[in-house]
Amino acid sequence: ACNAIFWGFEATTHFIRNGLGLTGFYLYIPLAAVIGLMGGLSYVNCMYQIQQNEDIPTDLRQLAVNLCFASSNIGIVLASGLDLWLANTALSQCNIYDCSKPPQIYN
């Protein structure tokens, strides 16, 4: 929850990017690494729980793991497609910023 609040606040206010300039991006790297580790560890934990769950019959465990992998990959493909669609429509640069002015990258 703290990561979601932090990144949501940063996305709306850009307090690190505007306040720290280029050095602020060095702060992004460990924060993004923590998010990646949390996602990867939760993914591995789900697969471990499927393998260790005694409610799933032994002959169906491999099928359960394959279904989880397939669902994960389908979710990634759908999220990527949604990102491409939004980036070219509602979230395009000219919809968010005034394209008639030159972009201001750093102060």
Q: What is the pLDDT along the chain (107 residues), one digit of tens a residue?
A: 788 898 888 888 888 888 888 888 888 899 889 999 998 999 899 999 999 999 999 999 999 999 999 999 999 999 999 999 999 889 887 887 778 877 666 55
Rounded CA-CA distance 51/100 in Å is: 56
What pLDDT is stored for residue 15 in this prediction? 86
Q: What is the DSSP letter of 102?
A: P
Best CA proximity match to 65, nearest among 78, 52, 82, 81: 52
Q: What is the CA radius of gyration of the chain?
A: 20
What pLDDT is stored for residue 26 in this prediction? 87
- Which residue ranges make up each domain of the chain? 2-96
Q: Is the pTM of this model over 0.85?
A: no
Q: Which amino acid is at 54?
A: E
